[in-house]
Each structure stands twice: as C-alpha cells, then as structure tokens.
Structure 1
Amino acid sequence: MTIERASDPNDLSRLLIERINARDVDGLAALYEDDAVLDTGDGHAIGSADIREFWTNLLTTGITVTLGLQADAIINGDIALTSTRLPGGPITVEVARRQRDGTWKWAIDQPALVREGQ
C-alpha cells in the first residue's frame, strides 16, 4: 500500500484529518520528519517514536475530526508556515519543510483538534 505524500504544504492538514478518521497511525507518523516536534498540549512529542505513541494514544479515544479553514501556506524556499482555523476558534500552527523528493513534512506541529459536532 502506497501512502499519499504531501505535494503542497497545505496537503498535510488534509492528510492528517483523513488519517485520524481512518485510524492510520503509520500514515500519521509519515507526515512528520524523523526529528519533528509535536506540541501535545501537556508537553512535546519529539521524534518518530514519540509522535507515533501520541497518535496511537489519541486514536484510542475514538476522536473523529473535520478540516477547518486553511490559510494559504507562507513559503520561503524549503520552509513553509501552515495554519488552520477550526470551528469554534482554535488555530493550528505548523512549520513544514520540503523534502529532497519535493514532498512536504512537518518539522514542528502545534495542533488543535475539534471533534466532529462541536
């Protein structure tokens, strides 16, 4: 099975939502660089193993999410700032980096998740 990769920085948020709702931990972990930092709300998940553990634990809660309103990515060379406004007002902030193959992965992620129906 081939995992879709982000050809644009804003693809990352769409893929994140799809993979959360599909309970695809491998796909979620693939959205991040090997040494990425993810703000967990009560600390940080650093690196692939910690990020995989965070998503594994979160998915056990049965969370289902929807994509909010994405701002246009701000791109400077191989770095991009992405952001999404979620229903109810929370805003995500992420830093993505273009990979050698031209695809994008998050290097820093400060997610905000709103369950469907909230």
Structure 2
Amino acid sequence: MTSKTPAAEPNDLGKYFIERANAGDVDGLVALYEPDAVLAFPPGNLATGHAEIREVYEQFLAAAPVLTPGRQHPVLVSNDLALTASTLTTGEVAVEIARRQPDGTWLWTLDQPVLIP
C-alpha cells in the first residue's frame, strides 16, 4: 500500500506520517520528504535524501510499531517555510521544517523527530 496524497497544509505532514507508519507504508513516508531532505533519526544519526530516509523507515517499520498521534502545535509559517512541532505521547518533542512546493503542497526538508522534553 502506498499513499502519496500531498499535504495541503504543513500540519497534514504529521497526520499523514502517523497514518502511513501505522499502515507500514515506507513509500508513503518517504513521499513526505523533499528529495534532498535530512532526517535526524534514530537519535545521533542523519539520513540525507530519499534513499537513506527509506532505509531508516524500512528498519523502523520492521518492528511494526503502532504510533499514537501526539499533540500538534500551531504551525509557524514564513513565506514558503513552515516550522511544525508535535509533543509525542512519550513527552518527547518532534520538530520539522517544511517547504511549500511549486504546486502549493508541503514537504518536509528537515526532520528532528525526537528531542528531549
């Protein structure tokens, strides 16, 4: 299963992340990122670009985690950039930078999914 519904709003990315991760949809997760995006996960590691991000999520989803939506914070938008943040159910905070694409949709360009509370 692959879902590539584009994010019309920056906070759609977080919602789609939970849906796609719970569905085991690696391709759908990768589709949330720009081709040269940087993902800081697992903590202490950086994955750059779709190929490396795919490897991270293949390993992550191999354990079949069940993710629960946290609390999304109001998005902060400046022109074509947006700062998104969520407090996860674990109390950790995830922060991302999204960029508006030429077609008006949004993709993450920087993703720091786990910060110390």
Q: Calculate the TM-score normalised by the size of structure 1.
A: 0.91
Q: Distance in 1 between matches of 2:14 and 2:90?
A: 18
50, 53, 75: which one aligns with 2:52: 50
Aligned residues: 112
Q: Which runs of 5+ in 2 are unaligned?
A: none
CA shift for structure 1 position 76: 0.0
Q: What is residue 39 of structure 1 aligned with on the other side?
A: 40
* 58-67 vs 7-16, greater mean Cα deviation: 58-67
Superposed CA RMSD: 1.1
Q: Distance in 2 between matches of 1:55 and 1:44?
A: 13
Q: Distance in 2 between matches of 1:2 and 1:33?
A: 16
Question: What is the 5 A alignment of 1:85-104?
Answer: 85-104=87-106
Q: What is residue 65 of structure 2 aligned with on the other side?
A: 63
Q: What is residue 75 of structure 2 aligned with on the other side?
A: 73
Q: Distance in 2 between matches of 1:3 and 1:37?
A: 19
Q: Calculate the TM-score normalised by the size of structure 2.
A: 0.92
Among the aligned pairs, what percent are the same residue?
47
Q: Which runs of 5+ in 1 are unaligned?
A: 113-118
Q: Distance in 2 between matches of 1:104 and 1:8?
A: 6
The runs of at least 4 consecutive aligned structure 1 residues that moved more than 4 Å come to: none
